[in-house]
Amino acid sequence: MKDVSIGQYYPANSVIHRLDPRLKLVLCIMYIVMIFFIQTFTGYALTAVFILALVFISRVPLLKVLRSLKAIIFLVLFTVILTVLFFRGNPEDLLWSAWIIRIYKAALINAGKMALRIILLVLGPTVLTLTTTPVELTDALERLLKPLSYIKIPVHELAIIMSIALRLIPTLVEETDKIISAQKARGADFESGNLFKRAKAMLPVLIPLFVSSFRRADELAYAMDSRCYRGAKGRTRMKIMRLTFKDFAAFLVMAAFFFCILLLRYNWFNIGFIAEIIARGF
């Protein structure tokens, strides 16, 4: 559980770290939307190369980014198994059948695409959290949602809640690991038996974890109250966010890559199709 990367920040001196956090949030949203436009393995391969390039530029160790995939291994396998077993393709594409189970070639292709989509959806936000501190994410989210404050939506409070939740994920993971180690030292067995026995064995872990979580929440509330925290009222910022040339350059790079994905998605690389569009435009 120590390998969970969500919510952790890796300090480094890179261009990605120095980008405006508001821009990084917008680019992350663009990235997530872009993933759902990809329909071919070529697009997934280009996106994987794009993510690897970002990791290289950010100077974050690749293994630290890949550790975030451990939390979704079960989800990926579950999705692949369901897609392979229940997807129905053309009869001529049937690869194997036994009883009521039929596996088609199209099912394997779709399962591979679904697995790649889930993996890439996790890697993008992971790079964001590893290169942006929780405080920067909170300020960026608050600034982006500021127009909602004019209709009486507590934007600052929502941003603080997100920041605290994101910050406490590594703390709760570490606390869970300590509790599991303590229970194993007392003779607890978490690895043998069927699924129900393993779930029952987790009760001695969940109860202390909930108690510890509530205690930390009370301590945090008292600490914020003792420092006269009153929400956004009268709050100032030491660092003022300003967009720079490198921020605009990063946005143009992401927009260009998004456009390339759209070219692949709608087969706009066809020269005849592009010529027809130009002819219609003129």
Same domain, 120 and 209: no
Query: Residue 4: what pLDDT?
Result: 56
Residue 131: pLDDT over 70: yes
Per the CB < 8 A criterion, the answer to whether 44 and 113 are in contact is: yes
When mean pLDDT is compared across 61-75, 153-167, 243-257, the lowest value belongs to: 153-167
Query: Residue 148: what pLDDT?
Result: 82
Quote the tokens at residue 121.
Answer: 């959806």
pLDDT over 90 for what percent of the chain?
Answer: 15
Per the CB < 8 A criterion, the answer to whether 69 and 119 are in contact is: yes
SS3 241: coil
Same domain, 276 and 175: no
User: pTM, whole model, 2 decimals?
Assistant: 0.75
Same domain, 92 and 219: no
Query: Residue 27: what pLDDT?
Result: 92
Q: What is the pLDDT of residues 27-42, one digit of tens each?
A: 999 999 999 888 888 8
Residue 278: pLDDT over 70: no
Q: Which residue has the higher pLDDT, 166 or 56?
A: 56
Residue 276: pLDDT over 70: no
Sorting pLDDT into bands at 50, 70 and 90, what band is 282? very low
Kindly provide the b/e burial profile for residues 195-230, where b requires at least 16 CB atoms within 10 angstroms of the residue's own CB: eeeeeebeebbeebbeebeeeeeeeeeeeeeeeeee
Q: Which residue has the higher pLDDT, 187 or 213?
A: 213
Same domain, 61 and 128: yes
Single-letter amino acid code for the residue at 149: S
Q: How many domains does the chain have?
A: 2
Q: How far is CA 113 from CA 29, 50, 215, in A?
A: 20, 17, 43
Distance CA 17, CA 138 (A): 15
Kindly provide the b/e burial profile for residues 116-144, where b requires at least 16 CB atoms within 10 angstroms of the residue's own CB: bbbbbebbbebbbbbbbbbebbbbbbbbb
Spell out the alpha helix ranges (H) of the chain.
15-18, 21-35, 41-58, 62-66, 73-86, 105-131, 134-144, 155-185, 195-201, 203-226, 245-265, 271-281
- Which residues form the domain of 62? 1-132+244-282
Residue 193 is given by DSSP the state S
The mean per-residue pLDDT over the stretch 191-199 comes to 72
Same domain, 221 and 269: no
Same domain, 117 and 84: yes
Same domain, 148 and 128: no
Query: Residue 252: what pLDDT?
Result: 94
Same domain, 17 and 117: yes
Same domain, 3 and 128: yes
Residue 271: pLDDT over 50: no
Same domain, 24 and 102: yes
Largest interatomic CA distance in the chain: 79
The mean per-residue pLDDT over the stretch 225-253 comes to 80
The mean per-residue pLDDT over the stretch 210-218 comes to 86
Q: How far is CA 28 from CA 25, 55, 56, 224, 261, in A?
A: 5, 14, 17, 30, 15
Same domain, 178 and 223: yes
Residue 27 is given by DSSP the state H
Give 267's contacts (C-beta < 8 A, 6+ positions apart): 273
Same domain, 25 and 126: yes
Give 146's contacts (C-beta < 8 A, 6+ positions apart): 155
Q: What is the pLDDT of residues 65-102, one digit of tens each?
A: 888 888 788 888 888 888 877 777 676 667 767 777 77
Q: Which residue has the higher pLDDT, 278 or 43?
A: 43
